Amino acid sequence: MIIITGLGRCGTSILTKYLGMVGFALGRNVNWNKEARAGMELSTAYSITDNMHHYFLKNDEPIDLNSKCHGDYWDMTYGEAILNVDKDERQGKVDVFKDPRITWHPDLLKAWWSVRQDFQLIICHRKPEDVYKSRKALSPRYDDPKRRELIEYKIDFEEFFTTVLELGIQYKTLYFPNFLFNYNMVWNTLDSMGLRHNYDKGKKVWDDIIELKKYT
């Protein structure tokens, strides 16, 4: 299983959109938000992470994977939901999904890893200063209420990436916006992680969807 993640405003959405267009399964109800130039998140996956953050970490409590999930979708514990996140027939096949929320706190990544160690990460990264500026340039309704100051972005990524290394999770990084200009690097990165697809067909899709002047 592949999870695409990053601080946000760093190319995670466009990369996920590309993978869907070249044939990889993203699950059902995964949509592109034209105004925000973002989206493509599998709600049944990110809701697990979002709920664990909201109900445990925001209250300064340890994550309880044996606790029943909040919400209407997962009628099971958090641990069971993580185990079944790409196997639930209601959401269809899932080869890869995007979840920036696992960068919010190291315990979120640890919770996922404690249940299943079969996932790899594609980490899209961007200078935190540029992430901050790009998020603030969005309409207020798209602003992330968790982060208000630049320093929080820097702390989030430092703690997240340190945890990736500590746990020994397999990962690849793509640096934004550089990777938008380098399809060959993108294709090689995806291919090395088992997301194999036709190079030439993929190049045509990439050229069609990448509008560099719009990505700020």
Tens-digit pLDDT profile for residues 200-210? 999 999 999 98
Provide CB contacts within 8 A for 78, sequence distance 6+.
48, 51, 52, 63, 64, 65, 66, 67, 68, 69, 111
pLDDT at 216 over 60: no
By mean pLDDT, which of 29-38, 47-56, 125-134 is the weakest? 29-38
Domains and CATH numbers, the chain: 2-214 (3.40.50)
Beta strands 32-33 and 38-39 are antiparallel
Q: What is the pTM of this model?
A: 0.93
Q: How large is the average pLDDT for residues 160-172?
A: 98
By mean pLDDT, which of 63-77, 83-97, 130-144 is the weakest? 130-144
pLDDT at 215 over 60: no
pLDDT at 119 over 90: yes
